[in-house]
Structure 1
Amino acid sequence: MSTATTIDAMRTAAHALRGGETREALRAVQAAQDALDVAKAHLLGKLEETRDYELDGASSVTNWARRELRLEPAQTRTAVRCAKTMRDLPEVAEAAVAGSVRMEHLNLFAYGLKHIGHEVIRESTNWLLRVAKTCEPSKLRAVMKELRHAVYPDSLDEAWIRGMDREDLKISPVPDGWHINGFLNQATGAKLKTVLDSLSKPSSIEDVRTPPQRRVQALDELLTNVLNNGLPSDKGIRPHLLVNVDVETLHNALTNQPDNSGKPAELVGFGPIGNQLLNYLGCTGDITPILTSGKDLPQAKILNVGRDHRLATPRQRKAIVARQHGRCAAPGCTNTHLEIHHTTWWSHGGRTDLDELAGYCSRCHHLIHRGLLDAAPAHQQDTLLAA
């Protein structure tokens, strides 16, 4: 590889920086940067071929570049891949050295060699180079993908099937909030993007929210609408965001007083939350006083229905969900969709009272009725859940 072009580009950039006009200096600096990137890729490729990195005690070129050049492994791998591409495609190498194409273009030619094939790319080099010399890398990327689809027409359906196999979505609580990780197939991802793009558009010229803020607020708006209107009720209870908190903690939060109760509120499904978030949720949500146990208390008579009704009432379901923090009553089970079970079976004379009802997920409820799991009395639920 000739170094004359690289040296000339550096001299031009140095001259422009010393006293050139701003636009001229930017063009010269970019040309020098492109020339240096190509030269660095060539040298890293040569270093890998000669294995001279071993002279400095490195086990690979990526390890050497990380230690000596502070390059990320991905950067080094890209550079080495581009060096190999220049060896395989002399016309592309000549254009890169001349400054007509840059590293991003070289990387796309490397993609073509790997995913389309050496023979097709060599036959198409001339017209692909015309695209690379006149367009930004994103245009060449689109052209490469179109070429791949033309050569391998079944690849689109194969990619869709691979995407279906990779489908996953995980939402995990972390100290600062929730971590979302996963992969959506082409159709589902397009639907989500369409909805978020529509809801996250700037509301006016005065909307100063950043794009991330607008996307998150759009998702929040979507979920709020679904919770309010879009989900079916379950035995009279529509799914909602639930917070369990005792009276003293709630009063302190809503009145901005210090909380010394030692009993933080719990956002069901997440865990303890601070008073500022509790204050916000209390301001925007409904507050429902709930009695969770105590058949001898006068208030319990309002909720307890005895033998008059077999199924738990909506108010009883709310009380049981709150008492169990939204989790299944079976030891070790963390499922949250609960079915209400009589701990003393209705057919054995059980009563539809708070102290004789417990919430179990569908699987554990089935195990109880198959005789494989014992249902604990309601007054033991807190102990079991804590264990």
Structure 2
Amino acid sequence: MGSLRVAEKWLYGSRFCCPDSVSGGLYVVGMSSSSSPSRDPRSGSARGVALLEKHAAIARLQAEFLTDLAEFDAAGEFVIDNQVTAQAWLRHHTRMDALDARRAVTAARALRDLPQTAHALVAGEISVRHVDELAAGHKRLGAAVMLEAEEMLVPLAKAAAPADVRAGVARVEEAVGADESREEKAQRIHDSRYLLLSTGMDGTVIITGRLDRAHGMLVQKAIRAGSQPNPEPGQQVDPRTAAQRQADALIEIVQTHLGSQPGVTSLRLDTTLVVDLPTLRDELQPGDGHTGIAAILGTAFTAEELRYLTCTADVSVLLTATLSPHARAAAANDERAGTDGAVNLGGLSVTVAPGVPLGLGREARLATRAQLRALWVRDGGCIAPGCRNRRVQAHHVIHWSDGGPTDITNMCLLCSRHHHLLHQGGWQLEPDPDRPGRFRWRPPDGSEPVPATHASDRNPGTTRTFW
């Protein structure tokens, strides 16, 4: 393919390598082709020699693993273990996450078609990370293109870092594009799109992906529009980094999409939450035998995280009264508890009995569409001072677990950012005694309260308190 010569010229003229007039090979700039101190074990200590030998041995073992995986994948032997793909088999038996398993299978398939890459890996001259970059090119450009490009890319991989190999593959991709029609290039780029979601060991979600230019710009525009600095109430500077603001903007976009009411949205997750009442009410004491953490499908959440979740999700809540002595005594003395042990939880009458489900339900504690409309008219958006975000959620000022009713007199609108601050940042909302029907924010440091911003504040002359 003639256009690959363009990429070859770039590779030979790069800072990574240049042509060797004697051997026709490639070598690192500033070093002869016959010696490479960074790879010569004799140039280091005995421990360094051992490390280099082990590194080469690891590469050889990884090459064997990928070779066997390629054969295992091609033969479909994973079905013997009731798995649908080799990737699923790896995840099940080795506990790899989805991204690592996908990379392993992609690399294994590429090595079947790329003999020079396979040989370099077996010889310990390149690492699996180098193979990952070459395999990504194999997946996007196809075996025929990468087989020819190996003549340039494998020597580059022997002399440079994986990131540099990625740049080399990109140059090959550009060169291939020169031989394509506009429609073929657009289709190839569109076909290369992907989005991967994987879960880290700490429960965080890792997002990686690739989009064509037009759709990528669309996503960038949407995220940038929602990631402008938004200081906390009473503050001048947003403490979040630009990356954190973009992450928050993505969450708000998703919440808006999942919501059903224009202008007023809330995240709707179909989740079963199993939690005991004192955990939700944060009544557990040290030594009670509980940690104060409930679980959703095996994922642990603190009491405040649970409060935030139950404000913004359709959760089927299975309440159990596995009460500690402290919590049982508190329930007996609670004015919401009667002589029969019944507890009124946000309008739901439940019975305190160890291990017995107390109540199952969630939708009754979510605002109705009519209430959301009324809240929108009254608040006009997030009620945090200075916040202009119109992607908002309904929040109980007095949480339902504390007996707060799902009524507009006990609810307000908050954006995702300020909703999070309220639940986990130490801020509090309370009725404003100087402005009946409206609220004010109390900072976590105990300083003077900051008046909330309602529609009547944004638009003086309107009165929208509704009570």
Bucket of the pairwise TM-score, normalised by the shorter protein:
0.3 to 0.5
TM-score, scaled to structure 2? 0.37
- Point out the structure with the larger strand share: 2
Q: Which has the higher contact order (CA 8 A, sep 6+)?
A: 2
Structure with larger Rg: 1
TM-score, scaled to structure 1? 0.44
